[in-house]
A and B are shown apart, each in its own frame.
Chain A
Amino acid sequence: MKGRGLVAGGAAGAALLSRRAFTFAHGVDPSTGTVTDVRSDIRGENVKGRVLFYPFGKGSTTASSWFLESVRLGNYPCAIVTEGADLSAVIGSVMAKVIYGKEIPVVSGVSREEYSRIAAGARVKVNSSGEGAKVEA
């Protein structure tokens, strides 16, 4: 699958696939990485070390801080892949690099239909750069 590389980097991990709009704000517990949002279809799953897929971001503009707190505590996805660009993921990832030295690639432009072909938990490789991004299952 090809996408747009919003934040550069390479990562590999098990796929965690949400088909609904997603938010870290009040939606992921930063101290565990567990998805807590009552409206999420992956509630109860853990984002830690996973390649996290969701179609769009939603909700509070503080999602970037919630994401960054999960990075600070070590409970963060190794890469984020979305359909529409999620600014909270982009900003959280840029700050993660500058403040904590962690590289978390962020990719957009991979549709829900495309990533739904990946089996949940399958190993996924993400390579993101200014030239473009590749997501391989």
Chain B
Amino acid sequence: MHLDASQEKLLRGEGGEARRFAMEIVTRVGDAVGASSLVPVKSAHVLAHYSSLHDAGVDVLERFASSGGKFAVPTSVDPASIDLQNWRSFGISEDYARQQFRLCDAYAKLGGMRCWTCVQYQVCNFPKQGETVAWAESSAVVFANSILGCRSNKITAGMDVACAVLGLTPKFGMLEDENRRAKVAFKLSAGSLSDVDYRSLGFYIGRKAGARVPVLEGLPASVTSDEIKHLGAAAAAAGPVTMIHLPGITPGSNTSSAATGGERVEEFDVSRSDLSDVEEDLNQTHELPDLVAFGVPHLSVSELGLLSNQLEGRRVKKGVRMYLYTSGQAYEMAERTGIAGAIEASGARLTHSTDAEISPLKQLGFRVVMTNSAKLAEIVSSEGEIKMRYASQEAIIEEVTG
């Protein structure tokens, strides 16, 4: 990989230890993937949750912070492993919280924006079309490439902080025009779509597309950005997808043929039965859940409003916890507008700055978790200890409330 004179200096340590360490990481990765050079980014998004980073991740982030590191570009952060405000009331131990707060402190010392969310593009990190960014969080990367018209690779833990400290990222993968072209097409003919259908559709695409960039035709005109958020998250959970061309929505892809560059590609028809197959596949039991989790990725204020309407006049059954995961900003808005009160009147709980798939569900004693998130179902089931159920929001509420 070619480095310019200023980058060579950073690699020699002339910009301080934090940037030398960061350069060592990005140049090794750049060489491994055959990147041509390092290019500037407009923003970064990093991971700082204890459940995946462990004590080793605390060591890494503290090393960056204690050696004088500062983020060179606006940087947001994925959810923490605990509700940073109300963690005690969720049964989190002091020891667990202490390690999470060490990550929070190191992240703050590096100068990051303290909006702990996986939907930073709805909350605090707003790049404009055409910009290159270095984001971790696979669902946000799909959103950036497909909807915002940005360019981002899926940046791995450790590499994310290195890119943020340098304001640079290796040029490869989704930063190159030729790699952004659609290589496989999906044609939807499944009628109207429910919340869970969007997730199942994304999951189906993620499994079938493999490493190929997909184009998806046939989404209803009524599709919302929240629905696309969940579709993309499910696709990225099922496979290495980092972009989905949606003709008429994705900048630069008004038609399928623009997405593929006019080339013929393999096509899949997606029918109602394909979506049902995903649903069946992600269901591991029929037992009553002890936890219902909504909000992987985080719910927006409008999604919270819809949930509060559906929960109106209902009570969550005894023995079932229902958690709604959102960002701190949406949480505050929900409190101010009465949505939070309406939700909690049903016995459900609103929680912010954390998310289900990165919280210690097993240690908290949950055995059966029910969700409309294909991403959560996929991640939790791979460990084989908690059983997952997967259904639509409406069906879940019907079953677990009275």
Highest count of chain A CB atoms <10 Å: which of B25, B28, B56? B56
- A27 to B381 CA separation, bound complex (whole angstroms): 11
The answer to the question of A69 belonging to the interface, with a C-beta cut-off of 8 Å to chain B, is: yes
Q: Check if A99 sits within 8 Å of B55, measured CB to CB.
A: no
Contact among B32, B52, B136, B240 with A25 in the assembled complex (CB-CB below 8 Å): B52
Highest count of chain B CB atoms <10 Å: which of A4, A25, A63, A90? A90
The answer to the question of A87 belonging to the interface, with a C-beta cut-off of 8 Å to chain B, is: yes
Chain A hits for B59, CB < 8 A: 72, 99
Enumerate A54-69 residues with CB–CB distance to B below 8 Å: 58-66, 68-69
The answer to the question of B29 belonging to the interface, with a C-beta cut-off of 8 Å to chain A, is: yes
Contact among B28, B47, B157 with A90 in the assembled complex (CB-CB below 8 Å): B28
Enumerate B154-211 residues with CB–CB distance to A below 8 Å: 154-159
The answer to the question of A108 belonging to the interface, with a C-beta cut-off of 8 Å to chain B, is: yes
- A72 to B59 CA separation, bound complex (whole angstroms): 10
Q: Check if A87 sits within 8 Å of B29, measured CB to CB.
A: yes
Q: Check if B379 sits within 8 Å of A60, measured CB to CB.
A: yes
Contact among B28, B55, B138, B383 with A7 in the assembled complex (CB-CB below 8 Å): B28
Q: Which residue of B lies closest to A62 (CB)?
A: B52
- A68 to B47 CA separation, bound complex (whole angstroms): 15
Chain A hits for B29, CB < 8 A: 87, 90-91, 94
Q: Check if A61 sits within 8 Å of B56, measured CB to CB.
A: no
Contact among A59, A94, A98 with B382 in the assembled complex (CB-CB below 8 Å): A59
Q: Check if A99 sits within 8 Å of B60, measured CB to CB.
A: yes
Q: Check if B156 sits within 8 Å of A26, measured CB to CB.
A: no
Chain A hits for B325, CB < 8 A: none
The answer to the question of B128 belonging to the interface, with a C-beta cut-off of 8 Å to chain A, is: no
Chain A hits for B240, CB < 8 A: 58
Q: Which residue of B lies closest to A66 (CB)?
A: B52
The answer to the question of B227 belonging to the interface, with a C-beta cut-off of 8 Å to chain A, is: no
Q: Determine how close the nearest CB of chain A comes to the CB of B327; give it in whole angstroms.
A: 20
Enumerate B22-73 residues with CB–CB distance to A below 8 Å: 24-25, 28-29, 31-33, 47, 52-57, 59-60, 63
In the assembled complex, 8 residue pairs joining A and B whose CB atoms fall closer than 8 Å, in A order, are: A26-B379, A38-B383, A61-B136, A68-B54, A91-B29, A95-B25, A95-B158, A98-B21
6 further A-B contacts with Cβ under 8 Å, apart from A65-B56, A90-B29, are A64-B158, A69-B55, A69-B57, A72-B59, A90-B28, A91-B28
Residues of B participating in the A interface, judged by any CB pair closer than 8 Å: 21, 24-25, 28-29, 31-33, 47, 52-57, 59-60, 63, 136, 138, 154-159, 240, 379, 381-384
- Complex A-B, nearest 5 residue pairs according to Cβ-Cβ distance, in ascending order: A62-B52, A69-B54, A68-B56, A38-B384, A69-B56
